[in-house]
Chains A and B, each alone.
Chain A
Amino acid sequence: MRGNPAKAFELTNTQVFRRAALPKSYTDLLGRKLFLLLLTIQGLGAFALITLGVMLKKTGVAQNVMGPRIRQEIVRAGVALMPMFMFVAFALGFLVIGQTVSALARVGATDYLGSTMVIVVVRELGPLLAAVLVLARVGTAHVIELGTARAMGEVEALEALGIDPVHYLIVPRVWGMMAGIFSLTVYLIIGALGSGYLWAFLQDVPLTPGDYFKQLTEALGWLDFALLALKTVAFGFFIAIVACYHGLAQPLRLEEVSRVAVRAVTQGVIVCLLIDALFIVLYLVA
């Protein structure tokens, strides 16, 4: 289809840089990396804006097709990962919380338990771990699926049938990732806090469940809930954008798909850390 957004990101400049001969000096290498970084930021930014535009503009278009597609992606990026996250929550509770609780109890600082848990689990570790795990499990699959679909001409076929590839392929994945990471983070936090207390209880830490719960509720403010929701939704949106951008927005050959998947994961982790840093600033300012 003429003017299709997916075609707007065929960054041939990026390919020129990637396929160019080896640089002759370190300054050349640095310059090339800088150009690539700027082109990637430009491409990701534009792709994010176009996806957002399609999400808003085409709300309600082909609902009978898009509804099941979105539910399918929510199951994939959320419900299907619950068993894995149960294990991770248990392990996180044991590795971090159980030890922290017992260490605080040893130095008689159990009064700080609630705020420590909120900072470590609710604000930082929970959302970030959930985002990175979903990126690894589902984001890579998105890159490979979309890259293969692009290389096999399926995206062209969608265009020929009058189906907007961004609407059909990207929008459900974005909704799936946003809903999935948000829900799994909540699930992970509750699981980790619960299992953490269990481990502490097994170590005979003198803390009743009532005290533990009271400390947690006192340490949690409305801002924690609001920023947790915002942060996890931002993680989901940008992870989906990075994965889909690398899979769909650039012309790929089949042999390039695996390499692009690795690049997407790396960039996805970097994006998550940048968003996390932004939210740390927000927490400090608020």
Chain B
Amino acid sequence: MNENQNPAAIEMRDVSVGAMRDTSFTVVEDVNWTVASGEFWVIAGQQQSGKSDFLKMTAGLMAPVKGSYKLFGNETRTFGEAELPERLRLGFVFEGGQLFNRLTLGENVALPLQYRHNLTAAAAAQEVESLLDLMELAPLADVTPANVAADWLQRAALARALVLKPEVLLLDNPFSGLGARHLQWSLRFLDRLWRGHEWLGGKPVTMVVTTDDLSRLAGWRDEARRFALLKDRRFTALGSWSRVEASNDPVVKELLAVPLAATM
């Protein structure tokens, strides 16, 4: 691959990340990280390790405290309204969904499409319905988030991020609290997105997923995916699954053994 013609999707050099609530408090320091198009990264870390803040910074919701962060080869510090279409090549799924409570699930999914492309609800309906069908959300299309179980909210949030057909998808702890059925569905669906889903025209999606429980990622334990660890304000690239399993880091071991510890 020629790097000049096809820059990395995400490129960070000496980046430090502040907390979303108080950017004067640094949660992750000196990150050097490159995500090439088509890669699949899993960032593991304990609760309060700064995963969400790190991912929100990566999504462009806040600026890095220091360092250089390039998204699709463009320095994000200069991102403004004019560069919005470029930034929307990246989709973000919040932990818990963070859906709009006054809108139904269908309206939640339709809103970004309608707003970005100035479509009426009727004009957006066909595309939204096909996405809801794909994600088995059609029966819940007219229900507001307060009346839907958390598993489905997470799925609706994924649909809302996908409706703009992003090239890079960031998911903040998407498996937290999911039941076994939803977990298996999510693992399979995200894997299909990464490999190229027909809904996105078969184009592979670059994925970055954070988790606080590596033991739930059965099915993702292969050499194709990249793993990283956030610990003590440091970002460490671990490598493939075999390197994760071989790691002597106590935090990695703890993240792998969460269910065991929980039953003790």
Contacts and interface: CB of A to CB of B under 8 A. Distances in A.
Q: Specify the main secondary structure of chain B where it touches its partner.
A: loop
Contact of A161 (B96, B112, B119): B112
A136 to B, nearest CB: 21
A19 interface: no
B99 A64 contact: no
A82 to B, nearest CB: 23
A64 B119 contact: yes
Contacts of A156: 20, 56, 61, 94, 98
Contact of A64 (B20, B101, B120): B120
A62 B63 CA distance: 27
Interface in A125-177: 145, 148-149, 152-154, 156-164, 168
A116 B63 CA distance: 60
Contacts of B102: 145
Contact of B59 (A64, A153, A160): A160
B76 interface: yes
Chain A interface size band reads 20 to 34
A156 B100 CA distance: 11
Interface in B121-143: 123
A197 to B, nearest CB: 43
Contact of A159 (B61, B63, B116): B61
A153 B119 contact: no
Interface string B51-76: 00000100111110000000000001
Contacts of A168: 115
B118 interface: yes
Contacts, number: 78
Contact of A149 (B56, B77, B101): B101
Contacts of A158: 100
Given A1-B84, A2-B63, A161-B164, A152 B101 contact: yes
B112 A163 contact: yes
A2 B80 contact: yes
Nearest to A251: B21
B114 interface: yes
Contacts of A2: 60, 62-63, 76-77, 79-80
B118 A157 contact: no
B227 interface: no
Contacts of B76: 2
B61 A62 contact: no
Contacts of B237: none
A152 B114 contact: no
Contacts of A153: 94, 96, 98
A157 B99 contact: yes
Given A154-B101, A160-B94, A162-B88, A65 B61 contact: no
A160 B114 contact: no
B160 interface: yes
Contacts of A160: 59, 61, 92, 94
A152 B97 CA distance: 10
Interface in B80-95: 80-81, 84, 87-88, 92, 94
A58 B111 CA distance: 17
A88 to B, nearest CB: 28
A61 B94 CA distance: 26
A162 B61 contact: no
Contacts of B59: 160
Interface in A35-80: 61-65
Contacts of A163: 111-112, 115
B84 A162 contact: yes
Nearest to B97: A157
A3 B120 CA distance: 28
A154 B84 contact: no
A157 B87 contact: no
A195 B3 CA distance: 78
Interface in B5-56: 20-21, 56
Nearest to A153: B98
Contact of B61 (A1, A145, A152): A1
Query: 10 tightest A-B contacts by CB?
Result: A153-B98, A161-B112, A160-B92, A157-B98, A64-B120, A62-B115, A162-B88, A2-B79, A65-B114, A65-B115
Interface of A: 1-3, 61-65, 145, 148-149, 152-154, 156-164, 168, 251
Given A1-B87, A62-B114, A162-B88, 18 more contacts: A2-B77, A2-B80, A64-B114, A65-B115, A149-B100, A152-B98, A154-B100, A156-B61, A156-B94, A159-B61, A160-B61, A160-B94, A161-B112, A161-B116, A161-B161, A162-B84, A162-B115, A162-B116
12 contacts: A1-B60, A1-B84, A2-B76, A61-B118, A62-B115, A64-B123, A149-B101, A152-B98, A160-B92, A161-B164, A162-B115, A164-B81
